[in-house]
Amino acid sequence: MREPVSTSMAPGSPFFSQAVKAGPFVIVSGLVGVDVSTGALAGPTIQEQTHQALTNCREVLHAAGVTLDDVVEVGVLLVDPDDFAGMNEEYARWFPDDPPARYAAKLGAVIPGVLVSIRMMAVVTGQ
């Protein structure tokens, strides 16, 4: 059984669910660094956009009843692979100990101004 998850605290689209709960998993769609309070990108730097993308993921996880501590995998898609170090700088603040599994790849879609998209998978404990 699948249950779409949504919140007004993160950017959304009619083309995808912000997340889907399926069995013991919550799968968060790739979210970018748009600040929903302004509707604009959080800033021009990879650090600012990574921070906001992770904030958006956290809000969606919260709406699904889980936290960053429940995350088992993170996928990071970068427009420019040279931004990897800057993304890692911000990412390390969010997962300082025992981080989840992670992959990074090049973002294929061209979205004006967007530098990073982050997706996650979490496990609902107690299921």
CATH number assigned to the domain comprising residue 86: 3.30.1330.40
Domains held by the chain: number: 1
pLDDT at 127: 58
Q: What is the pLDDT of residues 54-96, one digit of tens each?
A: 999 999 999 999 999 999 999 999 999 999 999 999 999 999 9
Residue in 90, 94, 121, 116 with CA at minimum distance from that of residue 105? 116
Distances (CA, A) of 67 to 22, 43, 46, 81, 114: 16, 25, 23, 28, 25
**Residue-range definition of the domain harbouring residue 83:** 2-123
pLDDT band of 20, cuts 50, 70, 90: very high
Say if residue 37's pLDDT is above 90: yes
| Distance between first and last Cα of the chain | 14
In this prediction, residues 98-109 reach a mean pLDDT of 95
pLDDT band of 109, cuts 50, 70, 90: confident
